[in-house]
A and B are shown apart, each in its own frame.
Chain A
Amino acid sequence: MTQINVRVDGASYSDDVEPRTLLVHYLREQLGKVGTVVGCDTSNCGACTVHLDGESVKSCTVLAVQADGSEVTTIEGVADGATLHPVQKAFHEQHGLQCGYCTPGMIMASIDLLKNNPDPSEHEIREGIEGNLCRCTGYQNIVKAVQQAAGEMSSAGAHSVETTGAQA
């Protein structure tokens, strides 16, 4: 067993894990973070996507020991209390899901995409979420949801820039 220290969704944990433990299994089984799901188990579907030190990763393809000293954000850590993250809200409002299994990973991939590219084209959205499979929606409403979230997040960002400017 190897001891790891990680922060997950803002809380610190210190745990003993076997080196072969996958990050997703650590999150689900040791920490109870079952919002992150296992889909294909072959790095293909992206359902298990989380952020490791701010970057999207497939948590079925990272060892828990590799997260030692790192910050992990799961779908359970993106809302602000009872207020949904703009991407969560947009998936809800645009019906960006049917069965919902891919949704945690889709949302984590989309947040990562918008961090790197706040105003993506439809093509860039489809490329940005290409590592996440949805077998229900045909992706149309997922793309619409990301577009809505991009609009809301950039207008919120523009507002805060204006505010800062006014204060200066």
Chain B
Amino acid sequence: MIPASFAYARPTTVDEALQAIAAGGEDVKILAGGQSLIPVMRLRLAAPETVVDITRVTELRGVREDGDSLVIGAMTTHHDVITDPLIAQYGKLIAEATETVADPAVRHRGTFGGALVHADPAGDLPAVALALDAEFVIAGLGGARRTVPATEFFVDYLTTALADGELLVEVRVPKLGSDWGVRYEKFNRVAQAWSIVAVAAAVRREGSRITEARIGLTNMGSTPIRARAVEAALVGADVSLETVTAAAAQAAEGTEPSSDLNAQADYRQHLARVLTRRAVTAAAGL
């Protein structure tokens, strides 16, 4: 199908983009990579009055360092994230998860920021951002900037803390050095499919002891979820299959995943435990 008619704006700077959004009327959609928005518009699930295409806002592309943080421009494509040398050094968890997103052609267009703002609970990047305690830098009209932590950014199914008229400009994540092990463990049914459940794990080891653990769950609720009970059980524990297996058994605690054609809720909870065990085992270097 062909999308319904819309007015089209193609700004080249953040300021122009914010003005175009403000001037776009009641129903404005921001087109980042378009790999979710265009299909949704083709299916007429969305029929915006105005589309503000930010693909030419080049200041929003690229990855840079800022002290202990990596700063990822919202319009950095998945392909550019995967091939970025800073991500390869300090953001392996992001790279691993991004490699599982859709397929190469979609990753050439789809963007890091777009995937996060779309906030699909089956999308791979929200759980990673949550596990890393990412900070979302959001621009508003007149040069306003605010920063929202990941715990407040993901509000509900396809809903974030972004207000009307605002634009996500960049995402800050902590650099994870060589003392961290990471793994994104994804379960899906066929190639290029969404996660039925997935687990993002980052574990810091000192000798035989785990000193920090960050676990994010994909598609275990209407937003990404932190497996806090697993993290608490891992910190201070000796690295062994027994301790990891015991900790991972708590992965589904407090979750209320949905049931659909792919999986019932209890099966998703089972998957969360199994995938958490696998992800932490790999991340801890066992």
Contacts and interface: CB of A to CB of B under 8 A. Distances in A.
A19 B42 contact: no
A77 interface: no
A22 interface: yes
Interface stretch (B102-110, B127-135, B170-178, B222-230): B102-110
A132 B108 CA distance: 15
B5 A18 contact: yes
- Chain A contact residues (Cβ within 8 angstroms of B): what range? 20 to 34
B104 A109 contact: yes
Interface stretch (A41-49, A83-91, A141-149, A150-158): A41-49
Contacts of B5: 18-20
Interface in A39-76: 41-44, 46, 49, 52, 55-58, 60-63, 65-66
A41 B104 contact: no
Interface string B75-87: 0000100000000
B2 A22 contact: yes
A126 B103 CA distance: 11
B39 interface: yes
A132 B102 CA distance: 11
B38 A131 contact: no
Nearest to B33: A61
B276 interface: no
B3 A20 contact: yes
A124 to B, nearest CB: 11
Contact of B191 (A21, A43, A109, A130): A130
Contact of B104 (A2, A25, A42, A131): A131
B240 interface: no
Given A20-B4, A61-B35, A131-B192, A66 B55 contact: yes
Interface in B191-225: 191-192
Given A2-B8, A44-B192, A62-B109, A56 B104 contact: yes
A152 B39 CA distance: 37
A58 B106 contact: yes
Contacts of A2: 8
A62 B38 contact: yes
- Chain B contact residues (Cβ within 8 angstroms of A): what range? 20 to 34
Contact of A55 (B38, B79, B192): B79
A65 B55 CA distance: 11
Nearest to B43: A42
Contacts of A20: 2-6, 41
Contacts of B106: 43, 58, 61, 131
A27 interface: no
| Residue with the highest number of chain A CB atoms closer than 10 Å, among B8, B43, B103 | B103
Nearest to B10: A65
B103 A130 contact: yes
A58 B105 contact: yes
A42 B42 contact: yes
Contacts of B6: 19-20
Contact of B108 (A19, A56, A65): A56
Contacts of B41: 20
Nearest to B83: A116
Contacts of B102: 131
Interface string A24-43: 01000000000000000111
B42 A57 contact: no
B1 interface: yes
Interface string B3-38: 111111010000000000000000000010011001
A94 B16 CA distance: 52
Contacts of A19: 5-8, 51
Interface of A: 2, 18-22, 25, 41-44, 46, 49, 52, 55-58, 60-63, 65-66, 109, 112-113, 126, 128, 130-132
Interface of B: 1-8, 10, 31, 34-35, 38-39, 41-43, 51, 53, 55, 79, 102-106, 108-109, 191-192
15 contacts: A19-B51, A20-B2, A21-B2, A25-B2, A42-B42, A42-B43, A43-B106, A46-B103, A52-B108, A62-B38, A63-B31, A112-B105, A130-B103, A131-B106, A131-B192
